[in-house]
Amino acid sequence: QFFKEDFMQDYKLQVANAISAAIDSQLSQDEILSKIEIPKALNLGDYAFPAFVLSKVLRKAPQAIAAELVEKIDQTGFEKIEAVGPYVNFFLDKQAYAKAILAEVLAAKENFGNQDLGAGRQVPIDMSSPNIAKPMSMGHLRSTVIGNSIANLMAKVNYKPVKINHLGDWGTQFGKLMCAYEMWGSEAEIKADPIATLLKYYVRFHEEAEAKPELNDQARHWFKRLEDGDAEATRLWKWFREESLKEFMEVYDELEISFDSYNGEAFYNDKMDEIVELLEEKHLLKESQGAQIVDLDKYNLNPALIKRSDGATLYITRDLAAALYRKRTYDFAQSLYVVGNEQTNHFKQLKAVLKEMGYNWSDDIHHIPFGLITSGGKKLSTRAGRVILLQEVLNDAVNLATKQIEEKNPTLANKAEVAHQVGVGAVVFHDLKNERLNNFDFDLEEVVRFEGETGPYVQYSRARAMSILRKAGVDADAVTGSYDLNDPEAWETLRLLGDFPAIVKRAVTEYEPSVVAKYAIHLAKAFNKYYAHSRILADDEQKQARLAMVAAVATVLKEALRLLGVGAPDEM
Ligand code: ARG
């Protein structure tokens, strides 16, 4: 079910047509369309045409051209058209626009903004991908929530996202773990607290290996046993993996995020020979100090290390196998990797090797990088003890939300459920409202505030809209009656509603959920301003139309939050 791809496009066309009819073909329709701007402030109209683009041909000052254009343009269908300096400002007919946008949103409901950019083609999204036997980091949380939102956005424009958790469940670190377990591991200890215990073994292994480097050889040997399918090594590996995954699942459940696949690095163990063969066939492998590499000099990149001198494969070898597997399995339109920007070079190498292999679809592979979460301005790192444990962050957020709800709405029926939506939603929203490449500092108090540019603020604004509708006895999904709204106070909100489809499109093409988050804040602010200045429930002939707008705002805010992976309680 698709609605107008860009609701505002008709209005832009209306403006372009009016200009086109008033000038003597100095500019084509397309040229005019490309010049039309959206003024920063609403008092400068809804669209503006910069008259200076005509000053060369007409050999006149732009101010004079603007003034003349205003005289010539047929103003029918507009509220007014004005010259301000070198600009011609167009004001839409507010009443007609209000009718059209309210009718569109209330008919489309949550489908408002749906578009067909993807034609149903699949898009694997490599996201979350924590490492077995290590705590899930804030970086993995970012990848999870950004990836999830991009998946929602992709689905809204008719791609079929495939959410893949490319678990770090293979590699030499497993050799180290097994070696450590053999020396001083305890089954009971692991069972009691799996990830913390495995991490402890890992850290101790590194400490001891400094004095006894032969431990590293033993670890390599263990990993080789694993790669060769040895029974004991495989048993241990499976067990470590399962125990870790159980802990990760708790976080995913809390976030209500699921995956279509948990094929991690290990899944590609039996698919790497083919990669090595293909590289050999294409004469791309070179020997360097006993190792096999692909030279990437011409891309200005370090060589890709495909196979170590002991025959062990590497992270990138597994990613090559995964890329090929995904192309064959999903015939993807795009293949996305939501991974921190510290891996930018890795993904450049990955794409370059695929390109060298002759795969043109390597152009459809996109690394979606993101910045760091800092604490007190410092990078979080496991070693420096500045690990913010995810579970703790989410719990603290829910507790804080509970406290605020107790204060604001002590009689709320489903407090626990709402506190969960608000607390977890706050953390997710905070992450997504920042442009993904920016680093940002994490301060829980700030994140869960009900005021300011937070998730709870947006949720609260929507809950307020829902409460107005409840008071009026109106069902948000079935508002009928007149949409004739003639109220200057409502204009900003109405205009923002019309922008939603274009916002969705921009968020998708830039892989940038923050576009939606910022929009949601903007719409919530405009609506709250309107709420403060109007008597929505006053009994006059526009009451029904005002309620229609309230319902439309509630619908669009809920949908924007959904795209971000944030819940929208009806009451809070
Ligand atoms: N497990 C890796 C890490 O934690 C991220 C994996 C990203 N995905 C991939 N296909 N390389 O750094």
CATH number at 522 reads 1.10.730.10
Q: How far apart are CA 425 and CA 456, in angstroms?
A: 7
512 C-alpha to center of ligand 1: Å?
20
Same-domain check for residues 398 and 462: yes
Beta carbons within 10 angstroms of residue 449's beta carbon: 18
**Domain annotation covers residue 381:** no
Which of residues 39, 73, 92 is at a domain's end?
92
**Mutation test residue for ligand 1: of 343, 348, 353, 381, the one with most atoms within 8 Å of CB:** 343
Give the per-residue pLDDT at 386.
Answer: 47
**Among positive and negative, which fits the CA dihedral 261, 266, 270, 276?**
positive
Tokens of 114: 């749906």
φ, ψ of residue 413 to 5 degrees: the values are: -70, -55
Q: Would the CB of 129 count as within 6 Å of ligand 1?
A: yes
Q: How far apart are CA 444 and CA 441, in angstroms?
A: 10
Same-domain check for residues 349 and 471: no
Give the per-residue pLDDT at 384.
Answer: 45
Same-domain check for residues 80 and 136: no
Q: Would the CB of 166 count as within 6 Å of ligand 1?
A: yes
Cα separations (Å) of 68 from 5, 30, 63, 174, 542?
34, 22, 9, 76, 38
**Among positive and negative, which fits the CA dihedral 460, 465, 468, 472?**
negative
CB 570 within 8 A of CB 476: no
The closest-lying atom of ligand 1 relative to the alpha carbon of residue 131 is: 1
**Domain annotation covers residue 229:** yes
Give the per-residue pLDDT at 330.
Answer: 98
545 C-alpha to center of ligand 1: Å?
51
252 C-alpha to center of ligand 1: Å?
17
Q: The domain that contains 149 carries what CATH number?
A: 3.40.50.620
Q: Is 298 left (phi over 0), alpha (psi -120 to 50) or beta?
A: alpha
pLDDT digits (tens, 9 = 90+) for 102-135: 999 999 999 999 999 999 999 999 999 999 998 8
**Domain annotation covers residue 115:** no
Same-domain check for residues 321 and 179: yes
339 C-alpha to center of ligand 1: Å?
7
Q: How far apart are CA 146 and CA 309, in angstroms?
A: 38
Cβ neighbours of residue 107 under 8 Å, at least 6 residues apart? Answer: 3
Q: Would the CB of 169 count as within 6 Å of ligand 1?
A: no
**Domain annotation covers residue 112:** no
Same-domain check for residues 365 and 424: no
List the domain range (segments joined by +) for residue 475.
390-564
**Domain annotation covers residue 493:** yes
Q: Would the CB of 131 count as within 6 Å of ligand 1?
A: yes
Give the per-residue pLDDT at 358.
Answer: 97
133 C-alpha to center of ligand 1: Å?
14
**Domain annotation covers residue 297:** no
Q: Closest residue (by CA) to atom 4 of ligand 1?
A: 130
Give the per-residue pLDDT at 385.
Answer: 46
**Mutation test residue for ligand 1: of 146, 166, 324, the one with most atoms within 8 Å of CB:** 166
> Which of 239, 233, 238 lies closest to 219, judged by CA?
233
Q: How far apart are CA 381 and CA 384, in angstroms?
A: 6
The closest-lying atom of ligand 1 relative to the alpha carbon of residue 346 is: 11
Same-domain check for residues 398 and 354: no
Which of residues 54, 71, 92 is at a domain's end?
92
Same-domain check for residues 150 and 35: no
C-alpha angle with apex 353: 349 to 355, nearest 5 degrees?
Answer: 115
Same-domain check for residues 226 and 346: yes
Q: Is 323 left (phi over 0), alpha (psi -120 to 50) or beta?
A: alpha
**Mutation test residue for ligand 1: of 143, 245, 271, 339, the one with most atoms within 8 Å of CB:** 339
Q: Is 479 left (phi over 0), alpha (psi -120 to 50) or beta?
A: beta
Give the per-residue pLDDT at 449.
Answer: 84
> Which of 189, 200, 191 lies closest to 382, judged by CA?
200
Same-domain check for residues 470 and 531: yes
Which of residues 73, 92, 111 is at a domain's end?
92
Same-domain check for residues 16 and 162: no
Q: How many structural domains does the chain have?
A: 3
Q: What is the ipTM of this complex?
A: 0.99
388 C-alpha to center of ligand 1: Å?
20
CB 52 within 8 A of CB 501: no
As averages over each run of 10 residues, the pLDDT of the chain (572 residues) reads: 75 95 89 94 94 90 95 95 96 95 94 95 98 88 96 98 97 92 94 90 94 94 91 96 92 95 95 96 96 97 94 92 98 98 97 98 98 75 54 87 92 94 95 92 82 94 97 88 91 96 97 98 98 95 95 98 98 94
Q: Would the CB of 266 count as within 6 Å of ligand 1?
A: no
Tokens of 371: 């910045």
340 C-alpha to center of ligand 1: Å?
9
Residues facing residue 294 across a β-bridge: 285, 304
The enclosing H or E element of 146 equals: helix 138-156
Q: How far apart are CA 472 and CA 467, in angstroms?
A: 9
Q: How far apart are CA 307 and CA 286, in angstroms?
A: 10
Q: The domain that contains 32 carries what CATH number?
A: 3.30.1360.70
The enclosing H or E element of 63 equals: helix 62-72
Same-domain check for residues 434 and 510: yes
Q: Would the CB of 143 count as within 6 Å of ligand 1?
A: no
**Domain annotation covers residue 281:** no
94 C-alpha to center of ligand 1: Å?
50
**Domain annotation covers residue 179:** yes
- CA Rg value for the chain: 29
Same-domain check for residues 32 and 166: no
